Amino acid sequence: MRRALALLIAICSAALLTPLLVPLFSGRVFVSNDLSWFHLPMRHLYRQALHAGDTVLWTPSIFAGFYTHGEGQVGAFHPFHQVLYRLLPLQPAFNLEFIANYIAAFGGTVWFFRRLQLSSTAALFGAMLFTFSGFNLLHHQHMNMVAVVAHMPWLLAASDVLIVEPARKTAAFAGAAIAVIFGSELLIGFPQAVWWNVIALGAYAVFRAGETGRWGRLLPCGAAVMIGAMLGGIQLLPTADAAAHSERVAFSSDFALTYSLHPINLLQLWSPYVFEAGSWSQRDPRWFHEFGIYSGAILPVATIWVWMRRHDLREHRHLVVAVTVFAAVTLLLAFGRYGGLAVLLSHLPVLRTLRAPTRYIVLVQFALAILASIAWDDLMAIVEKKRARVSGMMPALWIPAALGIATTLALNTGVLPYGPHTFASARVAGAGAAVVVVVTLLVILAAQQKRWAMIALVIVTAADLGVWGIPYIYREAPRTIAQLTDGIPSAPATPADSYAFTEGRGLYPNVLVLRGYRLTTGYVGLFPAAFYPLDSYAAARLSGAKWYFTPDGLRQPIQGGLERVRLIDDLGQVATGTASIVVDRPGRLVIDVVVPARRTVALTERFHAGWSATSDDISLQTVRVDHDFLGCVVEAGVHRVSLHFMPRSFVYGSIASAIGAAFLAGALIVGLK
């Protein structure tokens, strides 16, 4: 039976993955939310730079100049991204990056759950629960966030090997694996998700060391993480640089508490479709992907099961307690301003810049998937008559189902006079409550040694996960890249004539780069700090904007934008002389200058301290022009001025990564002797 169940779980997991594969084989891409607003356009610029031999550190196509690598979400130096976007066209590369997250999460979870001494079927079941969890499916548009989360089970499994296995060589390989995995997730460029993985790793390492008495293994585990941090230095230091020069440094600690999970959303755990909008928020926009916390009816039911049966789960009793405590603490963190614990973290220097405490729910879902896998093994033992059957209706197990029915009757029937636009209809909500009833009944039947109940439990759980998450992914139909840009006229071939402005911080503008425009506005995770508001007409004029795009995509020419390069005197006035652009590439500008006296060569490129200027192998002083823009000072004469973008944060980050690689090699050599 176990082989049949393993095959069934694999088939159900493949069925859940299949809708995510459709765009890859149909020449389309998913376009909802950040996928088209941010990720696809930025990867287009990344791939374009790779193929043109330009730098991937800087782009002139966002905000008239932006430290793309510092913002980090492209993961420019991750080996997987380098291979994908160098070798493949944009559409398949983008889809493969998207799909790889779920495949990696599944494989890592199977390995980790096997390390927890769970059976292969339980590991597969748990992998299905986590890979296609509510968090991972609803956050599909945050593809690099999901990518970092997919590293978590791999990181925990490697730490388990390091702590538990006595062989020195095995421990050495495990330490190297921790370093490589941790470095890999840093290179993907989503620090908030790295923080979640650090929490999970720290908690698990302490638990496992305490359980096995191998406290001494925590030191090499920590050392491996430090080496991993150095390996990721090529991304970590630029991200710190970009964050330090972003708008976030001026935000109050309250920023870290935006998108806090209101406790009323716990209703979803036993009545997933209770809310008309899928979830509820008191102070923030009701983004379903942020506040939708359901991840299958099996999770609350299985949690109650393992606590009812904890005395019979001798081999996992300590794990059940530890995982439950971990889930409770991380749920408290997810509550954000409503829980108190996240309020304390919001005053810490780095964590105060990371918003959306509700995202800690991923740790809760991962923990509950562990409990569900433990419950699976217990039920399998009962079904196979290796443990005594459990008779009776088990009233405690019916708590989620009873709560679901009560919630539907109280909130979704209109009996109580409030929330007419908050709660779904009784028909919609009742279907979700019915799933909880069915899952509870299947668990009880399995406990009575009904083998078919385990088969049904797999199918119902897979359907439950799919119905919750897949429709959200398809709320916007996948499109070809050509369809995404349909109706947008191509940009002029001359870079200086391609600068475009869109009013407000709308999420539309980045799509314009797919048609060759250089934007004076944009949409990114770390908006650069600026004297002139980034979406203002003043910033557009100083950036040399030639075009204005209305919110519905109509293009209009605009006047008043400055020339790409001009000469000004020491008083900031237009000065005599000539300056013409010879090379205008990302991170590289070459300008021929003829001036009768000292002048400042002023550009519409945004200023960053990483720009350097030379002429005749002599360094020139770079300066700010109009507060936000780039210039350099030249003396009288004829000059060819070269400007090159190479920030110190990248240089030092590259050195850190090289040192990390050397430490990793040295540690492996010592460990394998």
Does some domain include residue 503? no
Do residues 571 and 440 both lie within one domain? Answer: no
Contact (Cβ atoms closer than 8 angstroms) between residue 412 and residue 423:
yes
Does some domain include residue 257? yes
Asked whether residue 177 carries a pLDDT value surpassing 70, the answer given is: yes
Compute the CA torsion angle 382, 388, 391, 397 (nearest 10 deg).
Answer: -50
Does some domain include residue 295? yes
pLDDT of residue 506: 55
pLDDT for 88-115, tens place per residue?
Answer: 999 999 999 999 999 999 999 999 999 9
How confident is the model over 554-573, as a mean pLDDT?
Answer: 91
Domain containing residue 634: 565-650
Q: What radius of gyration, in Å, describes the C-alpha atoms of the chain?
A: 28
Q: Using alpha carbons only, what angle is made at residue 93 by residues 91 and 96, rounded to the nearest 5 degrees?
A: 110
How confident is the model over 43-62, as a mean pLDDT?
Answer: 97
Interhelix angle 191-212/361-383, nearest 10 degrees: 40
What is the rounded distance in angstroms from the CA atom of residue 173 to the CA atom of residue 592? 55
Does some domain include residue 150? no
Q: Which helix (H) or strand (E) is 622 found in, with range?
A: strand 622-625
Asked whether residue 515 carries a pLDDT value surpassing 60, the answer given is: yes
Handedness of CA 446, 451, 454, 459 (dihedral sign): negative
Contact (Cβ atoms closer than 8 angstroms) between residue 65 and residue 53:
no
Query: Residue 443's closest CA among 268, 267, 300?
Result: 300
Does some domain include residue 390? yes
Does some domain include residue 207? no
**Domain end marker among 430, 449, 468:** 449
In which band, very low, low, confident or very high, does the pLDDT at 419 lie, cut at 50, 70 and 90? low
Does some domain include residue 105? no
Would you put residue 436 in left (φ > 0), alpha (ψ -120 to 50) or beta?
alpha
Q: Based on the structure, what is the number of domains in the chain?
A: 2
3-state SS track over 455-480:
HHHHHHHHHHHHHHHHHHHCCCCCEC
Place of tokens 């550190």: 57
What does residue 40 show for φ and ψ, rounded to 5 degrees? -65, -50
Query: Residue 426's closest CA among 439, 437, 415, 440?
Result: 415
pLDDT of residue 523: 92
Contact (Cβ atoms closer than 8 angstroms) between residue 634 and residue 615:
yes
Place of tokens 């799933």: 435
**Domain end marker among 407, 434, 449:** 449
**CATH code at position 621:** 2.60.40
Contact (Cβ atoms closer than 8 angstroms) between residue 446 and residue 262:
no
How confident is the model over 130-137, as a mean pLDDT?
Answer: 97
pLDDT for 316-354, tens place per residue?
Answer: 999 999 999 999 999 999 999 999 888 888 888 888 888
Model confidence, pTM: 0.94
Does some domain include residue 373? yes
